[in-house]
Structure 1
Amino acid sequence: MEMQSILRHLQIGSGVVLLTYLFLHLVNHALGLWSLDLAGHGLTLAIKLWHSTPGTILLYGSAALHFSLALRTIYGRRRWVLPATEWIRIWAGLSLPLLLIRHAVATRLAASLYGFEPNYEKIVISLISSGTQGLQLALLAPGWVHGCLGLWIRFRHYDPVRRAKPALIAVLIGLPLLSAAGFLHMTRAVETASAVLPAPDPKLLAHRVALDTWRRDLLTIYLSLVIGALVAGQLRNRVERRSLHKASLDT
């Protein structure tokens, strides 16, 4: 029981770190409603925070820990009859990496390996050129929903949390909408800045094949781990049921 409590606290702690990252990212996008420059200043601060050594260890360590605990939960689950809220939370949590891997490879990995210096104008130009603006708009919402629902499920039995439910719902829905509106505003600003859209960053173009390979390999590893945990858990459940059935027959 003590180990379960420790794992639960680790799950909450790592989840809060990831939710903080998503919150700041959504706010940063929302700043684009005012101007591309203001969003750019916010991005510069975010890069200083998350690209620093402590920030990198905290963010990616939390991501690895949270994902490892999610695999453990998938493997250990005996029954999959769940309430709708839990299914939504699971869907949101598992779908986030499918979108986030693309974003992380095109920004953080490109910056670390190939010297790409991300700013909102370069990111928007790259997304428009590749036709993946929709993915960017959908990028953060699943993780935001997953994190908010996770905290709600953990703390909904507290009276202050229940009383704050309307405000929490407003933040849950409103922040992603403001973020999407800010990103669309920045996209229009880049498109109208010149008659011809500038070419994507030369470093992204020069290493596009390598970045695509990284993206494909990471997605394959992610899906293999999730499916492997699910299949292994179901096989274990089947073996346990057969053992129990055999034991009941023997008695």
Structure 2
Amino acid sequence: MQTLLRRVQLGSGVVLLVYLFLHLLNHALGIWSLDLAGRGLMLALRLWHSAPGTVLLYGAALLHFSLALWTIYGRRHWGLPLTEWIRLWAGLSLPLLLIRHAVDTRLASSLYGFEPNYERIVIALITSGSQGLQLALLAPGWVHGCLGLWLRMRHHATARRAKAVLMFLLVGMPLLSAVGFFRMKQAVLATHTGPLHPDPKLVTHHLTLDTWRHDILVLYLSLVIGALVAGLLRNWLERRRLRKEPVNV
């Protein structure tokens, strides 16, 4: 069972890592032009908004998160090495990105007909003041996925030989993504002389979307804290029971 769970965790993690890679790559294409990044976005939307892509992405996210909750609950101690603490922090931040992305694009598209492109997305991020948050959340998720994959593959000779390339991807992709986003931001600002206005569909339904985002975020944090508290309580009860058991001489 443990072997099966590890394989499910690895498989779901790889799906999420591919999603993040394509997301970062699309942003990086903005270094060359907003149009090129937009074409990359359309290809990504065709992939992830298709029925198989939807099941694959959100199924992988649900599986990976469920296994993360089980791992948090099952921990007998929290004396972790620094690498594990970084991976845990980075992994727990990834759903924050997925929640915002799912609500602002997928839910808005499905319920209200919002058609995402990079100009609309950049304007929405600028006017909401959340462009820094978007970039800040992409990087930890990418770090979490890369570290997890490396910890699984580091014993293979091929992975060790490719360590320099992997380190470049680990550091370079978020940096290129940030540069591409700022270039797209400059391109959008250059084409708008007046104040920026988000898509009317997002303005009309922003209260409903904010409520969805808030409720899902509260549910996510409640599950994480609940798994942690339940695990700590179980550990305390086990230690208490052991102290009360008589010692056989």
Q: Is the 8 A contact 1:145 1:172 kept in 2?
A: yes
Q: Deviations over 1:192-233 (max 9, x none)?
A: 112114421010000000000001000100000000000000
Moved over 6 A (4+): none
2:129 to 125, 128, 131: 131
Query: How far apart in 2 are the matches of 1:225 and 1:198?
Result: 37
Percent identity of paired positions between Structure 1 and Structure 2:
71
Q: Deviations over 1:60-87 (max 9, x none)?
A: 0000000000000000000100111110
Map of 2:45 onto structure 1: 47
138-147 vs 83-92, greater mean Cα deviation: 138-147
Pairs within 5 Å for 1:38-187: 38-187=36-185
| Aligned-partner residue type, residue 202 of structure 1 | P
Q: Is the 8 A contact 1:100 1:139 kept in 2?
A: no
186-195 vs 128-137, greater mean Cα deviation: 128-137
Q: Is the 8 A contact 1:125 1:197 kept in 2?
A: no
Any gaps of 5 or more consecutive residues in structure 1? none
Q: Which TM-score applies when normalising by structure 1?
A: 0.96
Shift of 1:98: 2.3
Q: Deviations over 1:149-192 (max 9, x none)?
A: 00111111112212221211111000110011000000000001
Query: How far apart in 1 are the matches of 2:14 and 2:246?
Result: 45
Q: Is the 8 A contact 2:27 2:177 kept in 1?
A: yes
Query: How far apart in 2 are the matches of 1:10 and 1:86?
Result: 19
Shift of 1:249: 4.7
Q: Which TM-score applies when normalising by structure 2?
A: 0.97
Map of 1:22 onto structure 2: 20
Query: How far apart in 2 are the matches of 1:36 and 1:229?
Result: 43
| Aligned-partner residue type, residue 77 of structure 2 | R
Q: CA RMSD in A?
A: 1.1
Any gaps of 5 or more consecutive residues in structure 2? none
Query: How far apart in 2 are the matches of 1:33 and 1:140?
Result: 17
Shift of 1:106: 1.0
